[in-house]
Amino acid sequence: MLVKKRALVMGAGLAITAVLLSGCSGAGAGAGAAGQDVTLTLATVNNPQMKDMESLKGTFEKENPGIKVNFVQMEEGDLRAAVTADVASGAGQYDVVTVGAYEVPQWGAQGWLTDLTPALTSDAAYDVGDILPPVKTALSVDGKQYAVPFYGESSILMYNKEMFAAAGLTMSNNPTWQEVAAAAKTLNTPDHAGICLRGKPGWGDLFAPLTTVVQTFGGAWYDNNWNAQVNSPAFTEGVNFYVDLLKSAGEKDPVSNSFTECLNQLSAGKVAMWYDASVAASILEDPTTSKVAGKMGYVHAPVYKTKESGWLWSWNLAVPATSKHADAAVKFAKWATSKEYQQLVGTTLGWTRVPPGARTSTYSIPEYKTAAAAFAPITLEVMNAVNPVQPGLNPQPWVGIQYVTIPEFQDVGNQVAQLVADAIAGRTTVEEALAKGQVIAQAAGDKQKK
Amino acid sequence: MTTASIAPVRQRTPVPPGEESGTATRLALKKKGRQARALVMPALIFSLVLTQVPFLVTIVFSMLQWNQLRPSEIKFNWFENYAVVFTGPDFLPSLMSTVVITGSSVVLSLLLGLFFAVLLDRKFMGRGLARTLMITPFLIMPAAAALLWKWSMLDVNVGMVNWALNALGLPSVAWNTDLPVVTIVILLTWQYTPFMMLILLAGLQSQSREVLEAASVDGAGPWRTFQWMTLPHLRQYIEISTLLGTIMMLQAFDPIAIMTKGTGGTKTLSYLLYERAFIGLDVGQAAAFGVVTVIITIAVASIALRTLFKVFINGGDR
C-alpha cells in the first residue's frame, strides 16, 4: 500500500513538473480589439532595472492614452519556458518580453521575434545609431535587429589601488594576463587573495570569464564548421592558466564563488583584483556597502593573444511575433530604451540608477558623468572595443563572446563547468576534464551541422 | 478502497418493510450499491486524474524528442531517451551519488537523533525549551537552510565553522571546493536529525517505566538496559524514521542547487533531473530520467520493505 502511494505521489510530482515545463504557467492576456483600450502584457526577469521600469510605466501610460502596460515578473528559467511555449503555440499572451543577448539571435532566427528594424530606423527621434555598435550587432541577424537593449555590460579588471601602491606595483590600462598573474602572486597574502575569479559551475558563472580567457589564449568552443575545440591545445592552455592562477593566487573556496560572492570579498577588502562584469564597479563605488569605495581602479579585461577580451551582455526588450498589439508593443519598447527614459530615471530615481551600457549618449549626460565618474568612461571604452563577431583569433559561426548562440550551449557550458570545477578542486586534471567536455560539446556541434 | 467503502453500505441497508419479493430486494440493493458507487466516483476519479494521468503523461513525454528551444521538432522517438539514460555517462555516477549522500545522511542523522532523543527523554529544567530549539533546523525551509550554511557557517572567510577550526589552530577548509559531498551530508544531517529525534523520542516515551524499573531491580546497568530493553522497543520507530527519512532525503535538491551545483559527486538523481529539464531544456530526456528514478525507487523501497522492515507486514508479531 505504502509503495503504491509513494508511486502515486512521485508520479504526480513528476507530472506536475512536466506540466510546468510545458509552460502552462503563463498569466495575463492582452485584451481589447482595435479602437479600444489596449493592455500590453510584458513578461520580464525580476532584476532591479526592470522593477524601476515598472515604477515608471505611469509616465508612458499618461503620454499614450489608451495603452496600459501590465508587468509579469518571472525568474529567468520560467520566463524562457513561458515565452517559448507562448510563441510556439501562437497564443500571443505576451506583447513585450525581456530576452538576454544569448537568446535574441536564436529566437530572431527562429522567427519568434518581430523584426524591429523598420520601426527603429524610420524614427529619427529614437536615434537607433546611438545604440552601442557591438550591442546592436549582437542583437541582429542578417542585418535585422530583433530587440532593443535596455541595459548592457562588458567585463573589466578591477583592482585595489591601495594594495597595489603598498606593494609598489602599477597597473596599465590594457594589462596582459601574464602581468595580472604576476601581480596576483605578489599580492597574495594570508590576509587577502591576489585575485577573485568565478569558480561556481555554470555556463553563466564560471564559463563567462573563462570563455573570454580561452578566447584570448587563441581557443574557442567551436571552429567555423561546428567542430568542438574543447580539448584543443589553446583551449587547454587557457583553462590551465585560469585554474593555476586560482590555485596559486586566487580566493579560497573558488567553487563557491560567482559574481555576488566575489563582490562581497572585494567590498570587504579581502581581495586585490577581480575580473568580472563592469556593472560591479557601480556597486563597489557605493560607500554605504563597500569598504573600498574610492580606492578602486578599473582597466580593460586582461589579454594575451587578442587585442580585447571583454565580454558582452545585454538585457533587451523584444516583441514576440505572436503579439496581437505589435504596434503598441513596439512603441513601449522604444520608450523604455529611449533617451527620454534615461532622463526620466535620472531625474526621478537618481542618476546612478540610469541603465548603463546601451546608448552612447548616456555617457555624455553631465549628471551621469559626475555620478558615475569612476567607471563610466572605462565601461563605454570597453563596450565599444569588444567584437562579438570574432572575439577570438579565428572566425566563428555565431555572434557572441562569452557564449555560443545555440540552444544546447547552456547545457554544454554547464556540464563542462562542472568538470572544470573538479579540476579546480584537484579531483581531476584539466586535460581529463576537457577530454570529457569535448565529447559533450561535439554532440551539440553535430546538431548544428545538419 | 472502493469495495471496502461500499461493503458496509450494503450491510447496513435494511430490507424495506413489506417487501416480499427477493428479486425486488436485490434490485433495491443493487440500486443502493449503484448510488453508493456514484457517490464515491467523483472522489475516486478526482484522485485518479490527479495522480495517475500526470504520470501517464510523463511516460508519454519520456518517449518524445522535445527540446524546448526547438518546439518545431517535437516528435516520438520511442525509447531513444531511455537509451541515453542507460548508455550515457550521467546515470550511474548520479545513482551512486544519490546512494552515498542519502545513505550517509540517513545513518548519521539517525545516530545523532537517537543520541539527542535519549538526552531529552529525562526530566530537567528547561526541557521544553531545549526540545523546541532542537527541532528548529527541521522547521527552516531547505533553501533558507542552504543559504544559512553557505554564508554563515561554511564560508571560508567569515564562516563560523572555519572560525572555530582556526581557533583550535586548524587551517580553514574550502568546503564546497574540496569536500562537496561532505558539505551536503553535513547539511542534510543537520536538517533531518530533529525529525529522527522526534520519532525516536516518541518511541522512548512510550516505553513502560515498570519494565525499566524491573530491569534495574534485577541489577542491569544503564547500558545493558538500553541495549536489551530500549533498543528492541525502539526497533519499529527506527525503521519508520529510516524509511521516511530516506524518502525525504532522496528528494534533496536545495543544498545542491545553492551550494555545490552538482560538482564533485553531488549530482544526485533529483538534481540531474532538474538539470536535464531546466538547463538542458530536454523535456523528453528529463521525463525518461524521472520514470527510471520512480521505477528504481519503487524497486528499492519494496525490497527494503519486504526484507528489512518486516514491521509493515507482521507488525503485531513482536
Q: Is the pLDDT of residue A142 over 60?
A: yes
Summary mean pLDDT of chain A: 87
Output DSSP code: residue B151.
I
Confidence of residue A74 (pLDDT cuts 50, 70, 90): confident
Query: Count of CB atoms within 10 A of residue A55's CB?
Result: 13
C-alpha B35/C-alpha B19 separation (Å) is 20
Q: What is the pLDDT of residues A102-122, one digit of tens each?
A: 989 988 988 889 999 999 999
Confidence of residue B308 (pLDDT cuts 50, 70, 90): low
Using the beta-carbon criterion (under 8 Å), do B298 and A427 form an inter-chain contact?
no
Chain A: give the shortest CA distance to residue B117, in Å.
Answer: 27
Q: Using CB atoms, pick whichever of B52, B264, B290 lies closest to residue A425.
A: B264
Query: Of chain A residues 335-394, which have a CB less than 8 A from chain B?
Result: none
Q: What is the pLDDT of residues A30-62, one digit of tens each?
A: 333 445 688 999 998 877 788 889 999 999 999
Q: Which residues in chain A have Cβ-Cβ distances shorter than 8 Å to B182?
A: none
C-alpha B182/C-alpha B188 separation (Å) is 10
Is A194 exposed, middle or buried, given 0-12, 13-18 or 19+ CB atoms closer than 10 A? buried
Q: In the prediction, which pLDDT does B8 show? A: 43
Q: In the prediction, which pLDDT does B157 show? A: 83
Q: Is the pLDDT of residue B5 over 60?
A: no
Q: Which residues in chain A have Cβ-Cβ distances shorter than 8 Å to B50?
A: 12
Q: What is the pLDDT of residues B163-181, one digit of tens each?
A: 999 999 988 888 988 999 9
Closest by Cα among A391, A428, A393 to A234: A393
Q: What is the rounded average pLDDT of the residues A153-177?
A: 93
Nearest Cα residue in chain B from A205: B261
Q: Which residues contact A83 (CB under 8 A, 6 or more apart)?
A: A43, A94, A97, A99, A320
Q: In the prediction, which pLDDT does A95 show? A: 93
Q: In the prediction, which pLDDT does A239 show? A: 96
Q: Is the pLDDT of residue A219 over 90?
A: yes
Confidence of residue B310 (pLDDT cuts 50, 70, 90): low
* pTM listed for this prediction: 0.81
Percent of chain A past pLDDT 70, that is, above it, reads 92
Q: What is the pLDDT of residues A301-342, one digit of tens each?
A: 999 999 999 999 999 999 998 898 999 999 999 999 999 999
Domains recognised in chain A with CATH numbers:
24-152+313-371 (3.40.190.10), 155-311+406-449 (3.40.190.10)
Using the beta-carbon criterion (under 8 Å), do B175 and A253 form an inter-chain contact?
yes
Q: What is the rounded average pLDDT of the residues B219-227?
A: 84
Q: What is the pLDDT of residues B70-116, one digit of tens each?
A: 777 788 888 888 988 888 888 899 999 999 999 999 999 999 999 99
Query: Of chain A residues 50-79, which have a CB less than 8 A from chain B?
Result: 77
Q: pLDDT higher for A391 or A79?
A: A391
Query: Count of CB atoms within 10 A of residue A5's CB?
Result: 10
Q: Is the pLDDT of residue B304 over 80?
A: no
Q: In the prediction, which pLDDT does B25 show? A: 84
Is B28 exposed, middle or buried, given 0-12, 13-18 or 19+ CB atoms closer than 10 A? middle
**What share of residues in chain A are helix, strand, coil (percent, to 5)?**
45, 15, 40
C-alpha B308/C-alpha B239 separation (Å) is 8
Confidence of residue B6 (pLDDT cuts 50, 70, 90): very low
Using the beta-carbon criterion (under 8 Å), do A407 and B61 form an inter-chain contact?
no
Percent of chain B past pLDDT 90, that is, above it, reads 30
Q: In the prediction, which pLDDT does B215 show? A: 85
Q: How far is CA A210 from the centre of its chain?
A: 14
Q: What is the rounded average pLDDT of the residues B259-285?
A: 88
Chain B: give the shortest CA distance to residue A33, in Å.
Answer: 29
Q: In the prediction, which pLDDT does A148 show? A: 95
Chain A: give the shortest CA distance to residue B52, in Å.
Answer: 7
Confidence of residue A144 (pLDDT cuts 50, 70, 90): very high
C-alpha A433/C-alpha A420 separation (Å) is 6
Q: In the prediction, which pLDDT does B21 show? A: 62
Q: What is the rounded average pLDDT of the residues B41-70?
A: 86
C-alpha A113/C-alpha A96 separation (Å) is 10
Percent of chain B past pLDDT 70, that is, above it, reads 89
Q: In the prediction, which pLDDT does A375 show? A: 86
Q: What is the pLDDT of residues B233-255, one digit of tens each?
A: 888 898 888 888 988 888 889 99
Q: In the prediction, which pLDDT does B231 show? A: 87
Using the beta-carbon criterion (under 8 Å), do B263 and A11 form an inter-chain contact?
no
C-alpha B201/C-alpha B195 separation (Å) is 10
Chain B: give the shortest CA distance to residue A383, in Å.
Answer: 28
Q: What is the pLDDT of residues A390-446, one digit of tens each?
A: 999 999 999 999 999 988 898 899 999 999 999 999 999 999 999 999 999 999 999
Contact A261, A269 (CB under 8 A): no
The complex's ipTM works out to 0.77
Q: pLDDT higher for B8 or B225?
A: B225
Domains recognised in chain B with CATH numbers:
2-61 (no CATH), 91-266 (1.10.3720.10)
Confidence of residue A207 (pLDDT cuts 50, 70, 90): very high
* Strand (E) or helix (H) holding B291: helix B283-303
Q: Is the pLDDT of residue A21 over 60?
A: no
